[in-house]
Structure 1
Amino acid sequence: MADYEVFELGDVTLQCGQILRGAKMAYKTYGKLNAAKDNVIVYPCWYSGTHLENEWLIGPTMALDPEKYFIIVPNMFGNGLSTSASNTPAPFNGSRFPKITAYDNVVQQHRLVTEKFGISKVKLVTGWSMGALQTFHWGAIFPDMVERILPFQGSAKCSRHNFVFLEGVKAALQADAAFMNGFYKEQPQKGLRAASRVYAGWGFSQTFYRVEADLKKMGYASLEDFLVGFWEGWLLSKDANNLLTMLWTWQNGDISNNPIYNGDYKKALAGIKAKAIVMPASTDLYFPPEDSAIEVEHMPNAELRVVETYWGHFAGGPGTSPDDIKVIDAALKELLAR
């Protein structure tokens, strides 16, 4: 049986001008909503991840404690549980699945929070990677509703360098003859394996790869064992069209690309009223601290706090670096106490 619920959204008009017909948002909640409805945390998912792969940051004694807070984890469109290319019938299946922005995701998440639960205030929004992208969107789009945000190892707008990295992932995946322009008979395994090898050079830092003992701690006997077991194992468990859907969402992530800010990026950052701690990782090759510093410069109530680590992007999740998780959890506790 499914361990999540589904919110029926109906027909949703997207930013791209298409309609997501009979749209569904899968979500899971942890803890209980109190009578005042003021103990709410929204915790969006990351690229390819589901609510299950967010649970490493939820638990008793942790900042995201279900005994204290009502935690809502919405699944992104395209992740295979919410409406996605993989579960949409023809003619909007495969490569005909509509282009979906982070704005589209967050506006529908807002409907879940308000229409399903009657919530008017959110104590905290937090998330890793693409979860951070959605966290920034929550702060900018609903500034009077969101009290605190803590985006970690992510950005408010996809940088040009990050865009180029994702072009490499996309090209590797689509180069497999079995991909068949998105109308494949079975998953394009060669393309998925190739895309994972592109990803592998970016997810962890140069120093991480230099320290061979870390691979052994993670249960891998060698570098090749890690590349196959960790990286190929991850992407082979996903649907290729779903990955491309979320990749497009990532590449086109921009908190100012909406009717509220009309492309004014600095204005969108300045529009975030929430108390904020922005937490990049010192060795993140996707989202370097320099980009986060620019964001914080334009946010009125934000602090830049760099996680000093050699684990690169995966300092933030999904539960791979225990020491870094403690640092993130401590910052969440501090922010919630303010």
Structure 2
Amino acid sequence: MDYEIFELGDVALQSGMTLRNAFLAYKTYGTLHADKSNVIVYPTWYSGQHYDNEWLIGNGMALDPQKYFIIVPNMLGNGLSSSPSNTPPPFDKTRFPPVTVYDNVRLQHQLVTQKFGIEKVALVTGWSMGAQQTFQWAASYPDMVERIVPFAGTAKTWPHNFVFLEGVKAALRADAAWKNGWYTEPPTTGLRAVGRVYAGWGFSQAFYREERYREMGYHSLEDFLVGYWEGFFLKKDANNLLAMAWTWQNADISANPMHNGDFEKALRSIKARAIVMPGRTDLYFTPEDNEYETRRMPNAVFRPIESIWGHFAGAGVNPADTKFIDDALKEVLAQQAVAVP
């Protein structure tokens, strides 16, 4: 096991349910300075686990473990932290309680403060749902978070993104083997179908037109659909995917007692210096949604990733996009933190 566990005990969630004996799986990279000034929090994404974030961590990169103490907390529902697949009855499988992004970040804050005694975070960054958690960190703890770089993710799930996820969920639930979440064998037909649905959204039209999947080692469109997309989702647990989809669909940095649903107020409350980086051709976390959000944040720059790799411009699969993200992270880390009154 290459990660550690932070025990949370019984956690009261926003839904009114209790996540009993809750725990976060996390991994750290680098060494915490004595003054605890070199902390980066880098949350995971939809179905991703900590090792899926490691493409952006390395010597000479912005997230350099020789300079920074990088904490990667695994999102609830991802199979390593508390999830439908590892929670005992009666809250197992389809009875796993609904968890919000706000819940996730509140518990990650406990990890950061209680386990490590950290009071300031130099940077929070993340891709996709990791970006949603990044925004939430900045809105929930504005005096703690000095910088953020959310990439290919928004501060809330906008309606079209919600609808996209309805298609993903429906494909999975249509498999008779799913058995309303009480399956004993993986619903592989549904998982393969999720891959096919997702394939049309994850990359752009131009990506497919130019057959860029060949750069990833696939020799035809069908080879890519089976080898990459079906292969990707066959490794996942169906109930975990559905739990995280609920978290994703209900993401909104203002849906909590701090901001009481006032989204504009929540955006204005973010004090962190920010570079907001959508993928220019992202089909569900759209640049238009991010541009709206960035205009309402006091210290934010809008900088799209000019790429035809769609949402996956932020996934570490295209070297040019990875360099663009890494350069932005280096830039923001070189800047002074915004002075907090």
Deviation at 1:89, TM superposition (A): 1.1
| Equivalent position of 2:339 in the other structure | none
What CA distance in whole angstroms lies between the structure 2 residues aligned with 1:217 and 1:158? 31
- SS of the aligned residue for 1:86 comes to coil
What CA distance in whole angstroms lies between the structure 2 residues aligned with 1:332 and 1:286? 23
| Equivalent position of 1:257 in the other structure | 255
What CA distance in whole angstroms lies between the structure 2 residues aligned with 1:99 and 1:15? 8
Q: How does 1:199-210 map to 2 (within 5 A)?
A: 199-210=198-209
- SS of the aligned residue for 1:16 comes to coil
Give the AA of the match of 2:178. F
What CA distance in whole angstroms lies between the structure 1 residues aligned with 2:286 and 2:251? 16
Give unmatched runs, 5+ long, in structure 2: 336-341
Deviation at 1:194, TM superposition (A): 0.6
What CA distance in whole angstroms lies between the structure 1 residues aligned with 2:292 and 2:216? 34
What CA distance in whole angstroms lies between the structure 2 residues aligned with 1:268 and 1:62? 31
Q: How many residues align?
A: 335
| Equivalent position of 1:185 in the other structure | 184
Q: Does 1:322 align with 2:319?
A: yes
- TM-score of the pair, normalised by structure 1: 0.99
What CA distance in whole angstroms lies between the structure 1 residues aligned with 2:324 and 2:171? 35
CA-based RMSD of the aligned residues comes to 0.5
Deviation at 1:18, TM superposition (A): 0.5
What CA distance in whole angstroms lies between the structure 1 residues aligned with 2:51 and 2:215? 23
**Alignment partner for residue 337 of structure 1, among 318, 329, 334?**
334
What CA distance in whole angstroms lies between the structure 2 residues aligned with 1:129 and 1:229? 22
| Equivalent position of 1:266 in the other structure | 264
Deviation at 1:94, TM superposition (A): 1.2
Q: CA deviation digits over 1:24-61, x for unaligned, max 9?
A: 10000000000000000000000000000000000000
Which stretch of structure 1 is more off in the superposition, 113-122 or 217-226? 217-226
Give the AA of the match of 2:300. A
| Equivalent position of 1:85 in the other structure | 84
- SS of the aligned residue for 2:27 comes to strand
Q: CA deviation digits over 1:293-313, x for unaligned, max 9?
A: 100111000010011110000
Q: CA deviation digits over 1:143-171, x for unaligned, max 9?
A: 00000000000000001000000000000
Q: How does 1:303-322 map to 2 (within 5 A)?
A: 303-317=301-315, 319-322=316-319
What CA distance in whole angstroms lies between the structure 2 residues aligned with 1:305 and 1:217? 25
What CA distance in whole angstroms lies between the structure 2 residues aligned with 1:286 and 1:55? 24
What CA distance in whole angstroms lies between the structure 2 residues aligned with 1:48 and 1:188? 16
Q: How does 1:205-244 map to 2 (within 5 A)?
A: 205-212=204-211, 214-244=212-242
| Equivalent position of 2:69 in the other structure | 70
- SS of the aligned residue for 1:272 comes to coil
Deviation at 1:84, TM superposition (A): 0.3
What CA distance in whole angstroms lies between the structure 2 residues aligned with 1:245 and 1:69? 32
Q: How does 1:129-168 map to 2 (within 5 A)?
A: 129-168=128-167
- SS of the aligned residue for 1:32 comes to coil
Give the AA of the match of 1:88. T
Q: CA deviation digits over 1:76-105, x for unaligned, max 9?
A: 000000000000111111111100000000
Q: How does 1:5-20 map to 2 (within 5 A)?
A: 5-20=4-19
Give the AA of the match of 1:238. K
Deviation at 1:215, TM superposition (A): 1.9
Deviation at 1:280, TM superposition (A): 0.5
Q: CA deviation digits over 1:100-126, x for unaligned, max 9?
A: 000000000000000000000000000
Q: How does 1:49-64 map to 2 (within 5 A)?
A: 49-64=48-63
- SS of the aligned residue for 1:125 comes to strand
What CA distance in whole angstroms lies between the structure 2 residues aligned with 1:259 and 1:54? 31
Deviation at 1:196, TM superposition (A): 0.9
Q: CA deviation digits over 1:277-304, x for unaligned, max 9?
A: 0001110001111111100111000010
What CA distance in whole angstroms lies between the structure 2 residues aligned with 1:94 and 1:80? 11
What CA distance in whole angstroms lies between the structure 2 residues aligned with 1:188 and 1:77? 22
| Equivalent position of 2:29 in the other structure | 30
| Equivalent position of 2:243 in the other structure | 245
Aligned-pair identity in percent equals 69
Q: CA deviation digits over 1:191-220, x for unaligned, max 9?
A: 0011111100000000000112x2222111
**Alignment partner for residue 288 of structure 1, among 270, 286, 289?**
286
Give the AA of the match of 1:55. E
Give the AA of the match of 1:112. L
Give unmatched runs, 5+ long, in structure 1: none
Which stretch of structure 1 is more off in the superposition, 280-289 or 98-107? 280-289
What CA distance in whole angstroms lies between the structure 1 residues aligned with 2:256 and 2:125? 21
What CA distance in whole angstroms lies between the structure 2 residues aligned with 1:184 and 1:206? 35
The list of structure 1 runs, each at least 4 consecutive aligned residues, that deviate by more than 2 angstroms after superposition, is: none
